[in-house]
Amino acid sequence: MRFISGREMIAHAYENGYAIGAFSAHNAETIQAILWAADEEQAPIMIQVGQRVIHHIGLEAMKRMIEEFAREVTVPVCIHLDHSRQIEQTFKAIQLQFQSVMFDGSALPFAENAAITRKVVDVARALGIGTEGEIGKIGGTEDDITVAEEDAMLTTAEEAVRFVEATDVDYLAVSFGTAHGIYKKTPKLAFERLEEIREVVRRPIVMHGGSDVPDDQVRRAISLGVAKINVDTELRQAFTRGMLNVLESNPEEYHLAVSLGEGRNVMKQKVQEKIRLFGSSGKAKSFFG
């Protein structure tokens, strides 16, 4: 195992036409599901630590737990702080040597978002840590952060290039039709807008709300510069489904190792599906020269 800067990992994906799966972890079993899937696929992997799990378990505790389980695998791993809306928390993650951090100032006025993101970029880059910023509002709920559908808006190319010029962020999350959580109807991504943004920012783009997006649209997005795809909801669904399978077949099965273990197995399969879809299978060897 080798920990890799998000900047290096995402840049390689961008330059070679595939995407890194950025999978959210919530406990020991979900960490294992992500790592074991990546190891079997020999894929570079990004494990995301989100706001809800930070409130539940703690930032440092999650970082240490991921590091411990990562000793068991042979693929490049990047630990990423997701959707931080507090600069103090973002700097704490940098201090803890996360390999990638995201300050999410998308709810702030443009100037404030850009100014804070720039501070994060300056500190993180000096330490070799990758940075993600967001411009535009992506709908749905991510952890405890909700953006109503009527408030979500597509990022314009003008906004994107202004933000990149002001922050020099390594990879940019933009809104082009995805949403966090469960889609009420099949999403239709705005590929013309994505292509416009790609042409002006000329750096990796991040797709938030990667769960339940049709495979053909995912592949098209990757061809247009998306190099990091966040997946959470589908993984939680898979994990829960695995646990329910155990309890439905034997309602008196109280050994958590059994139900949690089956949740881990089903989630691992889902992670593997996504890795193959994103084109990152077999790419681990590229990071070991």
Helix (H) or strand (E) holding 70: helix 59-70
Per-residue tokens: 217: 């649209």
Q: Do the annotations mark residue 128 as ligand-binding?
A: no
How are beta strands 145-147 and 139-142 bridged, if at all? antiparallel
Where in the sequence numbering do the catalytic residues fall? 82
* Among candidate residues 191, 198, 204, the one with its CA nearest the CA of residue 157: 198
Q: Do the annotations mark residue 136 as ligand-binding?
A: no
Q: Do the annotations mark residue 209 as ligand-binding?
A: yes
Judge whether 244 and 7 are in contact, CB under 8 Å. no
Q: Do the annotations mark residue 6 as ligand-binding?
A: no
Q: Do the annotations mark residue 210 as ligand-binding?
A: yes
Judge whether 93 and 65 are in contact, CB under 8 Å. no
Q: Do the annotations mark residue 211 as ligand-binding?
A: yes
Q: Do the annotations mark residue 56 as ligand-binding?
A: no
Q: Do the annotations mark residue 240 as ligand-binding?
A: no
Q: Do the annotations mark residue 83 as ligand-binding?
A: yes
The b/e string for 213-242 (b: 16+ C-beta within 10 A; e otherwise) is: beeebbeebbebbbbbbbbbbbbbbbbeeb
Residue the block writes with tokens 């795809």: 229
Q: Do the annotations mark residue 39 as ligand-binding?
A: no
Q: Identity (one letter) of the amino acid at 236?
A: R
Q: Do the annotations mark residue 253 as ligand-binding?
A: no
Handedness of CA 33, 37, 42, 44 (dihedral sign): negative
Annotated binding site for Zn(2+): 83, 104, 134, 180, 208
Annotated binding site: 83, 104, 134, 180-181, 208-211, 230-233
Annotated binding site for dihydroxyacetone phosphate: 181, 209-211, 230-233
